[in-house]
């Protein structure tokens, strides 16, 4: 049956109306999607802590950020309270040490930085803070600590809680000179050395010494035994007219049968150098200079530190150190490499 012209017009009009309606609906839907704003990321975990004197590139932690749309995020730093102290991984948000010197508690107790996180359209900025922990020398096994800052009533005062004050041989006093931290004792030309009671190290097979030394002529740094009957000694000896090396001497008999072991290190004269001597189990010796292991060796003798006086800065009536000592630590255990490094940085 043929449709009339009026019916065809009505059908065309209806189709056009439906098409318009559909087009309007789709258009409105697109407009609604385009009208949803992109939100900025949110940043959490703004506080961190790190022990002072870390290794380069040490990880501090991760900035945690989330994006409402689930978009990928990128991380960056805009400002830092200490220039170039840290770096941040642009993909993961991990913060790492960039400048080790910035993480010295005596220089900076904290470091702050502005972190920027972006999803490609919107960004968020927050300030993070890194607290620097002050590391102190270990007190575990500490026998005595002599700062050598002053002489009070002819006594070398023990700065630890052990009260192991020391005296000076025959009442002869060292000279007071400028040290690394405060003052220091200079034994050159004084016929003096520090006499420490025997219980500082008595019958120990593991022990350690740490100190700053500034030497210009040969002499004993450490010795133990009666005044003229040395059991063991650590001597700085001139090696080539300019530098000095440690010479370890020990005597297991009463007939002064001295064996000697020279370390494979050298110390420049007239320069402050931090030295740590570590003995583990009586026979394994390590020597550190300025916090770095420089030499290790093994001896056949063990347990040679007996119940006799410990001498620092000289020995007997002639073998006095030609130089100065500062900030002496004595331990009744073998120090770890970390212990040594903390003492050096302290």
- Tokens 């050298």 correspond to 266
Residue 346: the pLDDT is 79
| Cross-strand partners of 175 | 186
Check pLDDT > 80 for residue 152: yes
Average pLDDT, the chain: 82
Position 65 scores a pLDDT of: 96
Q: Residue 231: is its pLDDT beyond 90?
A: no
Listed by start position, the domains of the chain span 42-133, 142-345
Q: Tokens 């292991």 — which residue?
A: 293
| pLDDT average, residue stretch 277-282 | 86
Q: Does residue 106 surpass a pLDDT of 50?
A: yes
Place of tokens 């309270």: 81
The pair of structure tokens assigned to 147 is: 């700062």
Q: What is the pLDDT of residue 262?
A: 61
The pLDDT tens digits of the residues spanning 176-222 come to 999 998 999 998 877 788 888 877 777 778 889 999 999 888 788 88
How far apart CA 249 and CA 258 sit, in angstroms, is 6
The pLDDT tens digits of the residues spanning 92-101 come to 999 999 999 9
Q: Is CATH 2.60.120.200 the right assignment for the domain spanning 142-345?
A: yes
Query: Is it the case that residue 147 has pLDDT exceeding 90?
Result: yes
Instruction: Give residue 142's pLDDT.
Output: 94
Stated pTM of the model: 0.73
Q: How far is CA 163 from the centre of its chain?
A: 28
Q: Residues of the chain with pLDDT > 90: what percent?
A: 48
Whole-number pLDDT of residue 230: 52
Higher pLDDT, 67 or 319: 67
Comparing 35 with 144, which gets the higher pLDDT?
144
Question: Lowest-pLDDT range, 51-55, 82-86, 111-115, 204-208?
Answer: 204-208
Return left, alpha or beta for 290; rule: phi > 0 is left, psi -120 to 50 is alpha, else beta.
Answer: left
Model confidence at 18, pLDDT cuts 50, 70, 90, reads very low
d(C-alpha 86, C-alpha 72), whole Å: 23
Comparing 299 with 215, which gets the higher pLDDT? 215
Residue 302 reports pLDDT greater than 70: no
How many CA atoms within 13 Å lie on the side-chain side of 17?
6
Does domain 42-133 bear CATH number 1.10.10.10?
no
Looking at 20-24, 90-94, 315-319, which range is the least confident one? Answer: 20-24
In the numeric block, which tokens belong to residue 343?
């003492």
**Residues 6 or more apart whose Cβ sits within 8 Å of residue 155:** 165, 166, 167
């Amino acid at each position: 049956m043929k449709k009339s012209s009026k019916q065809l017009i009505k059908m065309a009009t209806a189709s056009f109306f439906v098409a318009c309606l559909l087009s309007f609906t789709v258009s409105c839907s697109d407009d609604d999607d385009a009208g949803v704003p992109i939100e900025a990321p949110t940043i959490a975990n703004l506080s961190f802590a790190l022990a002072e004197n870390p290794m380069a590139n040490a990880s501090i932690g991760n900035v945690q950020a989330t994006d409402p749309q689930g978009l990928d995020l990128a991380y960056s730093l805009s400002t830092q309270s200490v220039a170039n102290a840290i770096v941040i991984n642009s993909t993961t948000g991990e913060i790492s040490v960039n400048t080790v010197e910035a993480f010295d508690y005596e220089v900076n107790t904290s470091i702050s930085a502005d972190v920027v996180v972006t999803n490609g359209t919107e960004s968020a900025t927050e300030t993070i803070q890194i607290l620097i922990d002050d590391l102190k020398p270990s007190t575990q096994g500490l026998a005595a600590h002599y700062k050598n800052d002053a002489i009070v009533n002819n006594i070398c005062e023990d700065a630890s809680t052990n009260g192991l004050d020391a005296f000076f041989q025959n009442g002869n006093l060292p000279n007071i000179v400028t040290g690394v931290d405060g003052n220091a004792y200079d034994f050159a030309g004084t016929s003096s050395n520090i006499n420490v009671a025997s219980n500082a190290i008595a019958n120990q097979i593991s022990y350690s010494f740490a100190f700053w030394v500034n030497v210009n002529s040969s002499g004993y740094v450490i010795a133990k035994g009666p005044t003229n009957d040395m059991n063991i000694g650590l001597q700085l000896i001139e090696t080539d007219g300019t530098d000095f090396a440690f010479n370890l001497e020990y005597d297991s008999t009463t007939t002064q049968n001295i064996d000697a072991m020279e370390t494979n290190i050298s110390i420049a004269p007239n320069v402050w150098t931090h030295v740590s001597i570590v003995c583990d189990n009586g026979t394994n010796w390590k020597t550190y200079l300025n916090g770095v292991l420089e030499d290790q060796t093994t001896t056949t003798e063990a347990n040679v530190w007996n119940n006799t006086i410990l001498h620092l800065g000289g020995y007997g009536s002639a073998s006095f150190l030609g130089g100065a000592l500062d900030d002496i630590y004595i331990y009744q255990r073998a120090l770890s490499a970390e212990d040594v490094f903390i003492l050096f940085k302290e």
